[in-house]
A and B are shown apart, each in its own frame.
Chain A
Amino acid sequence: MRFVDMWKFVHDGRVDVYLQRIIDNSSTLKGYDFDTLHENAKQGIPALLMTRTTPKSLGYEQIHDNLPWYTKTGRLEFYREEPEFLNYGENLPVHREPVDGTPYEPNVIVARAHAFIQPEAPTAYGKAWSDLSAEDRQVRNRVVAPDALASTAHPLKAQSFTHVFITPKYRHGAHTTPIDLDMVALWFGPFGDIYRHDKRMPWVGEGYVDLNPADARALGIEDGDYIWLDGDPQDRPYRGWTAASTEYKVARCKLRARYYPGLLPGVARSWFHMYGATYGSVEGHETNPDKLARNPRTNYQAMFRYGSHQSATRAWLRPTMSTDSVARKTYFGQTVGEGYEMDVNTVTGAPKESFVKLTRAEDGDPAGGLWRPARLGYRPGYETAAFLQFLRGEFVEKV
């Protein structure tokens, strides 16, 4: 059996055969005929997915048909009795601070004292209470009352680390595919320029971090400046880095800063979609005549000159997200089982957030000084008197 046999109907120009098989074996599609769907689609006539209700109403069967929920008891469960949850103090619904992305003591259980919350202390694992190292604090259980949290501190605060760095999904991007196109990269954020007047730009658009304007000013960072963004030096940008190495140059994140009034103090944000720097892209940026951050051999095109947002983030292995004991629905079908199931028990430690230090690196304008739109007074915090009049709607008056 070869691939060509496996996909015989594709080679015969009859993909409809496979599509009809999918339809016939899908609970939401069975009953449809592919050719009819196809002909209707050409005329703009849609078809509905045949879920129990349209629009889909999750929980409809549980509420109206009295079917069990997809849990061990079949009821909605608010208590976890498995040993891991007892040991980690998460048997009742509690809040845990992020393992890194918080100005407060990381990963503490935030709850009032409760007889049922009795997690194992670090000493049970041979660790000291004072051990807040990046690896060990992933599994550290300390209970802090909500009103006491604000008096705790992230250990890096003493080293000029100031910001919770979040890297969410851009609303118009899925993974990295949308920014494969120059025209989409151009619109991806405020630093696009199809002609790259500023040759420092890695491409026609580039990675950036949004900052609360007052925060940025306090750090001496202007709108549009290039800045260094550093995570915990224990393990970022990578374990065992040394400042003089090529690897560190490639991996340390340098990106644009944008003044963004929509962020609260203490929060910095980058979108997660943009391609990071590589050895080849850095080589290209430093040796290509046009300074494009493009690998001269493979044409890999980075959207960062150096590093990426992921230079400052890492995955965290939280025990209660990795257990083999919780009952859960199978990925397909209606059975409830226990133990490993993809997308349920697979470690959900995607690198998303951290606590960072921000350091000004280069002026926003390639010739020195402010980024042009800030200099001209169209930017938050830099408004000319006339631009403020415009913002307030003062150029017309009703009499």
Chain B
Amino acid sequence: MATVYNWQIGRDMSYWYPQARPSKQFAMVFDTNKCIACQTCTMACKNAWTSGRGQEYMFWNNVETKPYGGYPQAWDSKLLEVLGPQQWNGTTYRGKTIFEAAPAGERSVGIQPDDPDYTSPNIGEDEVFGQVEKGLKVIMPHTPWMFYLPRICNHCTYPSCLASCPRGSVYKRPEDGIVLIDQGRCRGYRECVRGCPYKKSFFRSTSGISEKCIGCYPLVERGLQTFCVQNCIGKIRMMGFLHTPEASVPDNPLDFLVHEKHLALPLYPQFGLEANIYYVPPIHVPLPYLEQIFGPRAQEAVANYKAAWSDPEVVGLIELFGSTDRIMNSFKLIGDEAVGYNASGAEVVRVPLKEPVHLRAAYDAALQVERRSIT
């Protein structure tokens, strides 16, 4: 065991390997307030990567309704139960991570899903916690409530799949932080399946080895965002590269949302993996649940998101979500437009902060055509 620093829990922690941060870290921000669980990301990923024999049940990307949904079923509540209630002291985690709670002889505490846990991938869809009664009024936070949680591999800084593999088959790419399973080395022990708290490693029975989200690395290597991001019709996702808080670059879109504006939070930071998919928390969900799933900064992130409309930079960056298939390494506002730039500083996209209104002449004499609202 080594001692590493995890900024998401505000302290050092023990990990199986010494700290080795990549030169760039693959990361995403998901705005849960805009996700409608259409599963277009799920199908984009499915079509691209897991359409083969033995992969039928696999969804490297899925969207589940919280709190009743889960793929595999109850993946998170079961682990929380094993860990038991834990404490945050401000933004410092006082509880045990899954590495620190590991039983003797194990590298992390993990749960091996049963085969039927992967059935009903859309269980709990749209189900609210709390019964809808006659005369119900909508108040904030909602009572009853639910929200949609889109999920992929978190390409963690301290991956538990990697730590759990007895053969060293899982590796984190130094150039972009994407976590992969070496398909030639894996022998299908399924320790990564058990070890990953997010359950994003999958065993393939036809090949006898395990597979996982590859972060669409063939796209990322060409400066493109992943398929799940490109295909999101709600434009809730942005993929890019994230620095640590002390190295934050303010015009980097991911740093801006996570470190500068405190709008986006990791999923279950208390597990201790320094997960790299960040969520703008849903503003209508009771705070205890948000703090349980997104950590102690949930209230702050909700408040910041509610105030986002008054900050043109935030508005501009949110408008850039889903506006290009290119990875944006920086952005800035020019007049009333937000502009995104690639790694070499070339402009890749430009969007207006507000949707422009066009008013056309009722009759276009030159073209001899009427312009009507109802045709």
Residues of A within 8 A of B (CB): 26-28, 30-31, 44, 48, 50-61, 65, 70, 171-172, 183-184, 186-195, 197, 212-214, 260-265, 329, 332, 334, 372-373, 376, 378-380, 386-387, 389-399
Q: Does B23 contact A (CB under 8 A)?
A: no
* A195 and B132 contact, Cβ closer than 8 Å, known pairs A27-B371, A386-B77, A396-B291: no
- CB contacts (< 8 Å) of B195 on chain A: these are none
Task: Report the stretch among B82-90, B175-183, B259-267, B273-281 that lies at the interface.
Answer: B82-90
- Contacting pair A393 B289 (CB below 8 A): yes
- Contacting pair A392 B288 (CB below 8 A): yes
- CB contacts (< 8 Å) of B120 on chain A: these are 190-193, 373
- CB contacts (< 8 Å) of A44 on chain B: these are 324-325
Q: How far is the CA of A51 from the CA of B36 in the complex (A)?
A: 28
- Over the window 53-68 of chain B, the binary record of Cβ atoms lying under 8 Å from chain A Cβ atoms (1 yes, 0 no) is 0001100000000011
- Contacting pair A55 B357 (CB below 8 A): yes
Distance between A191 CB and nearest chain B CB, rounded to angstroms: 6
Distance between A363 CB and nearest chain B CB, rounded to angstroms: 16
- CB contacts (< 8 Å) of A389 on chain B: these are 80-81, 85
Option from B68, B119, B133, B360 in Cβ contact (under 8 Å) with A197: B119
Q: How far is the CA of A60 from the CA of B355 in the complex (A)?
A: 18
Option from A27, A187, A263, A376 in Cβ contact (under 8 Å) with B132: A263
Most buried by B among A28, A172, A396, A398: A396
Q: How far is the CA of A311 from the CA of B359 in the complex (A)?
A: 49
- Contacting pair B374 A27 (CB below 8 A): no
Q: How far is the CA of A51 from the CA of B375 in the complex (A)?
A: 8
- CB contacts (< 8 Å) of A213 on chain B: these are 131
Q: How far is the CA of A391 from the CA of B115 in the complex (A)?
A: 24
Closest residue of B by beta carbon distance from A396: B292
- Contacting pair A390 B371 (CB below 8 A): no
- Contacting pair B67 A391 (CB below 8 A): yes
Closest residue of B by beta carbon distance from A190: B123
> Can you list 25 A-B pairs, Cβ within 8 angstroms, ordered by A?
A27-B371, A30-B367, A30-B369, A44-B324, A50-B360, A51-B372, A51-B375, A52-B360, A53-B360, A58-B374, A186-B121, A190-B120, A195-B56, A260-B127, A261-B144, A264-B133, A372-B116, A379-B68, A380-B127, A386-B77, A387-B77, A391-B289, A396-B85, A396-B292, A398-B87
- CB contacts (< 8 Å) of B85 on chain A: these are 389, 394-397
Distance between A391 CB and nearest chain B CB, rounded to angstroms: 5
Q: How many residues of B contact A (CB 8 A)?
A: 74
Closest residue of A by beta carbon distance from B82: A386
- CB contacts (< 8 Å) of B128 on chain A: these are 261-262
B205-231 CB contacts (< 8 Å) to partner A: none
Q: Does B94 contact A (CB under 8 A)?
A: yes
- CB contacts (< 8 Å) of B116 on chain A: these are 197, 372
- CB contacts (< 8 Å) of A188 on chain B: these are 122
Distance between B312 CB and nearest chain A CB, rounded to angstroms: 21
B147-206 CB contacts (< 8 Å) to partner A: none
- Contacting pair A195 B122 (CB below 8 A): no
Q: Give 14 new A-B contacts, CB below 8 A, not counting A195-B57, A389-B81, A396-B95.
A: A26-B375, A28-B372, A30-B367, A52-B373, A54-B357, A55-B357, A188-B122, A261-B128, A261-B129, A378-B73, A393-B289, A393-B290, A396-B86, A396-B292
* A187 and B122 contact, Cβ closer than 8 Å, known pairs A262-B144, A379-B68, A387-B77: yes
- CB contacts (< 8 Å) of B32 on chain A: these are none
- CB contacts (< 8 Å) of B325 on chain A: these are 44
Distance between B258 CB and nearest chain A CB, rounded to angstroms: 20
Q: Does B352 contact A (CB under 8 A)?
A: no
- Contacting pair B359 A395 (CB below 8 A): no
Q: Does B13 contact A (CB under 8 A)?
A: no
* A261 and B74 contact, Cβ closer than 8 Å, known pairs A53-B357, A184-B43, A390-B67: no
- CB contacts (< 8 Å) of A50 on chain B: these are 360, 371
Most buried by A among B68, B133, B356: B68
Option from B121, B127, B375 in Cβ contact (under 8 Å) with A192: B121
- Contacting pair B86 A373 (CB below 8 A): no
Distance between A259 CB and nearest chain B CB, rounded to angstroms: 8
Q: Does B130 contact A (CB under 8 A)?
A: yes
- CB contacts (< 8 Å) of A58 on chain B: these are 373-374
- CB contacts (< 8 Å) of A60 on chain B: these are 373
- CB contacts (< 8 Å) of A187 on chain B: these are 39, 42, 121-122
Q: How far is the CA of A334 from the CA of B372 in the complex (A)?
A: 9
Distance between A279 CB and nearest chain B CB, rounded to angstroms: 30
- Contacting pair A394 B373 (CB below 8 A): no
Distance between A170 CB and nearest chain B CB, rounded to angstroms: 10
Closest residue of A by beta carbon distance from B366: A31
- CB contacts (< 8 Å) of B364 on chain A: these are 30-31
- CB contacts (< 8 Å) of B288 on chain A: these are 392-394
Q: Does B25 contact A (CB under 8 A)?
A: no
- CB contacts (< 8 Å) of B289 on chain A: these are 391-393
B84-102 CB contacts (< 8 Å) to partner A: 84-90, 94-95
Q: Does B113 contact A (CB under 8 A)?
A: no
Q: How far is the CA of A59 from the CA of B374 in the complex (A)?
A: 8
- Over the window 276-319 of chain B, the binary record of Cβ atoms lying under 8 Å from chain A Cβ atoms (1 yes, 0 no) is 00000000001111111100100000000000000000000000
* A194 and B68 contact, Cβ closer than 8 Å, known pairs A55-B355, A373-B120, A393-B291: no
- CB contacts (< 8 Å) of A390 on chain B: these are 67, 76-77, 80-81, 292
Closest residue of B by beta carbon distance from A58: B373
- Contacting pair A27 B369 (CB below 8 A): yes
Option from B87, B115, B367 in Cβ contact (under 8 Å) with A399: B87
